[in-house]
Amino acid sequence: MSVHDRWNVYKGESNNGQDIIFSIASNHMIQFKTHLKVFLANKTSGGDECDFTIKGKWSKKNCKIYMGNSSTVIAQMDKMNANKDKFMVTINPMVDYAFVVSLIAIVHAMEIQSTKTRNGIAGEIVGQGAAAAVGVILLP
């Protein structure tokens, strides 16, 4: 992993740079709070202007997804009181819920990999699907 960890999402089974849909970048390999930048395909080549920002505390199941670097929240994740491993996602109208679910699944995978790295466990994340990462989705 690099200091500037980047996860790319491609169309279908491709891993060709021309097929990138979006990427998620982290400034630091080890973070106590989640702070990630999301770049849509036309923004992956450079610059620091992100299209979305994910901020919060993943370990507490409390994150928000913002438009760019603004204070406009497009979705948020909150822990459900009954179970520490389940959470609820609220997605604002006119926001692609599949995109939000994919962001949450990737953040979940990043956190698993980060935990494994911190614990000195080598390995690859395989089979971590969106179903494992998302508890309940509520559309307002």
- What is the C-alpha separation between 81 and 4, in angstroms, rounded? 34
The full set of domains in the chain, from first to last, is: 5-138 (2.40.160.200)
SS3 at position 18: helix
pLDDT of residue 83: 66
Between β-strands 34-40 and 62-67, what pairing exists: parallel, antiparallel or unpaired? unpaired
Q: Residue 139: which of 49, 75, 57 has the closest Cα?
A: 75
pLDDT in tens, 12-51: 888 888 888 888 888 665 556 778 899 888 754 556 688 9
SS3 at position 62: strand
Give backbone dihedrals phi and psi of 28, rounded to 5 degrees, phi first. Answer: -135, 140
Q: Which pLDDT band, with edges at 50, 70 and 90, does 138 fall under? A: very low
Is the pLDDT higher at 83 or at 97?
97
Helix (H) or strand (E) holding 132: helix 130-133
Is the pLDDT higher at 3 or at 6?
6
Instruction: Please provide the DSSP assignment of 83-128 as one string.
Output: -TT-EEEEE-TTS-HHHHHHHHHHHHHHHHHHHHHHTT------S-
SS3 at position 9: strand
pLDDT in tens, 73-92: 999 988 777 666 678 889 99
- What is the C-alpha separation between 76 and 117, in angstroms, rounded? 27
User: How many C-beta neighbours within 10 Å does residue 53 have?
Assistant: 18
